Structure formats: C-alpha cells, structure tokens
Structure 1
C-alpha cells in the first residue's frame, strides 16, 4: 500500500478516518476501560485526535505510532497546542517491522481501521506484536470494517485492486475474512474476544463518556482541525486533489455494502497453536 490518500488527508486536517467517525471512537474509548496510570498505545495514530481525546479525559500515559510523517507532523502540533507533550509520546513506525517497544509494555492497545486493511502476513505480524507488547491480561480494542459473509472472492479482489489503485488502500482485508475468520485469527494469536458488536447496532453515545474532557484544550485540538481544513480549501493543489478524490469516492460509493463495521474488544490470554483455527 502506498497510502497516497492518507497523505492527502493529513494535509486537509480531517480526523476520525473510520466508519461511524467520532461516535465509533467514543465507543472504542469506553471499551478500553481506562484506569489511572495505565500505559496505552495507539497503532496508526494519524493526526493524533484520539490520543488527545483520551489524554483530556483520563490520567493515563499514551504512545502513538504511525507510518506517515505527514500524519505525525499534525499529531505533534496537536499535542503541543493542547499542552500534552508530557503525557503523549509519538514516533514513526516502519511497515512490517516489529514494534519498537519492550515486551509487556502496555496495559491497553487500540487501533482504528488499521488492522482490517492489511494483507494476511501483515495482519498476523501486527497481532503477534500487539500480543507481545501487551501486559498479561491486557486489552486490545479495535474498530474495523470486515467483509460480510457470502461476498464472492473475485468481487473482493476486484474491490481491493481498485482501492489500491485509486487510494493506495484496500476496502478491507486482502483475504475474504468474515467475522468467524477474524475470531479464529485472534484466538490463534492469543486473544479472547469478549465483544464484537456491529457498530451500527450500538446505541448513540456522543457526549456520554463518564469523564468530561478539558474544554479549553479540547477546543485547541478542534481549532487546529478547522484551520487545516480551511487552509486546504485555499490551496490550489489540494483543491485539485479534493475534486479528484471526490470523483473517485463517488465511483466507489457502492463498495461499502459489502463490509460491516465491528468493534472488537479482546483480552490477551494465551496462544492457541492450532492450525485448524487459522482463517
């Protein structure tokens, strides 16, 4: 994947790049069940909006890692503006390279629409690394778009090829993995799923998280997002890209019917060396 679309989005200031947007993020945060002093990792932290949202609500220490320097530049700026440099650390990762953290470093790990778009080898490497850096009985939470049951494999391959060509991203997993396949994959890598609901079936939660954010600092984060969005509308090159991507998104508007967005909550338990459990 070349992530060309994500590089463009980094310059436009957009946040919450996943199905159900901010609402899905709030549901994910609630499922993390955060406790004071915990060490928390976000994989694929993007422009840092979720990291900041958590830091403003809970007294935890956060690490964020992302492949794209363009995203990290915005995230660093956001963290600095919100006065959170002592609570949030950011660093750049490398594709298909082990995470640069010691074993059992984190109480909680989460990601948003990162795991589900990987090829099979990358997804399995990623799960192995998450298992490694989590503490015993640590929690991994992720919201992902996965293939619905019954979608022909040739349709999946066609959709993913087009997504890679036009956006540098897949619609969902390279393999035709549905919910049972994902649950088997998690189990094989040492995770027990305690919940995996459809995001569309969950009640609306906007504004219902138990800990209120610090309004002044949250406003700074949102102001940065709006400023970047405004600047992108005044930039001729970005305007051309915006028109091009809007046309491409219109062409792909029907692809979403083949996937379903789920919120997975998983506990680190023990690995199951059972080849039959693999997708």
Structure 2
C-alpha cells in the first residue's frame, strides 16, 4: 500500500472514531501506561511516538517527563487534527506532531539526527509492513537509546474462545495481532547488536518489548 493510500484508509477509519477513540480504547489497549512508566528518559532527552493517534500517550508522557522534548507522528491527518487540539487544550506547545509514514520516516523530518526513546503503542498490528517500521525505528535510535513496544499478544493465558472473538473483532478495524513479532524482534536484536527484553502482560493479552542500543558514538 502506498503512503497516500494508507493515509486515506486511516482517515476513513478514524474520521468519526477519533471523537470517541480515547474513551473506548482505554478498556482494551492495555499496557500503554506500563510502557510510559518504563520510558524513564533523562532530562533533556528526546522521545518519539510512532503512530501518535489522538495524542493521548504524548500528553501522558509530557506530564510524567516535563524535562524532555517530545515528538510524534501519524499517517492519518484526521487523527493529527485531534492530537493538535488536545495538545493545545493541555498547554503542551513543546510537543511537536507531524504527518509521516511509519515505514519511511526519518529523524530529519523533526530536525533531529536520532532519539533517545522511541515507542510504538498498538500501532504495529495495524501496519502490513510492520517489519519495515521496526527497521526504521531502530535506525533512528541514538546510542544508549531504547525502543519500547506494546501491542496485542497471542492471548496464550486466556480461553481460546476469547482469542477468536477478539481477533475477529479487531480484524474489522484492520488490526491483526502479530504472532511472528517476538521472533522478528529477536532476529533484529541479533543483527543489530541490541539488547532485547520481552514479557507477556495480562495473561498474554498484551505483548511488551524493549530493544536497547549500546552506548557509543552519536549518530552522524
């Protein structure tokens, strides 16, 4: 899917949903606050959210880490419109958002060479070429930086009927939980010399992962 087609598709999905998105998603996008608490950036470090949606996570991160520089992007202009309104309403002019394709983005779009923290919250399962997103995110990590991910797990500790119902319902919104994600992250970590930590949350409802780049020379 081309970037323009993907943007149009996301706008169709979220043109109306964005108004109730945060109210409804808080009941089943579990693990987002765990991810935010795990960011733990140092003062002055930069954070990027891939697929920032309505800005809910950016607002929570900005409040928790007031001494950081925050950036976010989304491919949907409808979602970005809502995000900008939410950020303005909360007086968060220091948070910058832009339109970008997660499979092609570059830190230079945000006037940076890289980021100390990058996070992806329930976005990978909506992107067919999710492997390209991981590659781009890792490439944008500063030495010593970390990539944090939370998304739907494979429901291993929950009844099989629950998985069938949940996955069928998610598919209606073009969301497809990624069974191959743990193995893909392990392969990426091995190839790039990254440290990888993973864990299942809520009996496998959610999958959480961290990829850490070793300290070294800054991105040139």
Question: What is residue 175 of structure 2 aligned with on the other side?
Answer: 170
Is the counterpart of residue 75 in structure 1 residue 77 in structure 2?
Answer: no
Give the Cα separation in 2 of the matches to 1:39 and 1:199.
27
Instruction: Give the number of aligned pairs.
Output: 196
Does the CA-based 8 Å contact 1:36-1:60 persist in structure 2?
yes
SS of structure 1 residue aligned to 2:16:
helix
Question: What is residue 107 of structure 1 aligned with on the other side?
Answer: 116
Higher relative contact order (CA 8 A, sep 6+): 1
Q: Which string of whole-angstrom CA distances, capped at 9 and with x for unpartnered residues, describes residues 207-242 of structure 1?
A: xxxxxxxxxxxxxxxxxxxxxxxxxxxxxxxxxxxx
The TM-score, its normalising length taken from structure 1, stands at 0.60
**Which is helix-richer, 1 or 2?**
1
Question: What is residue 152 of structure 1 aligned with on the other side?
Answer: none
Compute the displacement of 1:147 (Å). Answer: 3.8
Deviant stretches of 4+, over 6 Å: 159-162
Question: What is residue 200 of structure 1 aligned with on the other side?
Answer: 202
SS of structure 1 residue aligned to 2:52:
coil
Give the Cα separation in 2 of the matches to 1:189 and 1:126.
15
Question: What is residue 179 of structure 1 aligned with on the other side?
Answer: 182
Give the Cα separation in 2 of the matches to 1:16 and 1:115.
19
Give the Cα separation in 1 of the matches to 2:180 and 2:27.
18
Is the counterpart of residue 57 in structure 1 residue 64 in structure 2?
Answer: yes
Question: What is residue 135 of structure 1 aligned with on the other side?
Answer: 142
Q: Which string of whole-angstrom CA distances, capped at 9 and with x for unpartnered residues, describes residues 91-129 of structure 1?
A: 00136323353674211000101123433xx22221221
Please list every run of 5 or more consecutive structure 1 residues that lacks an aligned counterpart in the other structure.
150-158, 202-258, 271-279
Change (3 A) 1:262 1:196: same
Give the Cα separation in 1 of the matches to 2:41 and 2:104.
28
Please list every run of 5 or more consecutive structure 2 residues that lacks an aligned counterpart in the other structure.
1-5, 157-165, 216-220
SS of structure 2 residue aligned to 1:198:
strand
Question: What is residue 264 of structure 1 aligned with on the other side?
Answer: 209
Q: After TM superposition, list the pairs within 5 Å mapping 1:43-54 onto structure 2.
A: 43-54=50-61
Compute the displacement of 1:161 (Å). Answer: 9.2
**Higher Cα Rg: structure 1 or 2?**
1
Question: What is residue 14 of structure 1 aligned with on the other side?
Answer: 22
Q: Which string of whole-angstrom CA distances, capped at 9 and with x for unpartnered residues, describes residues 26-61 of structure 1?
A: 210121112211110000001101111111121111
SS of structure 1 residue aligned to 2:98:
strand
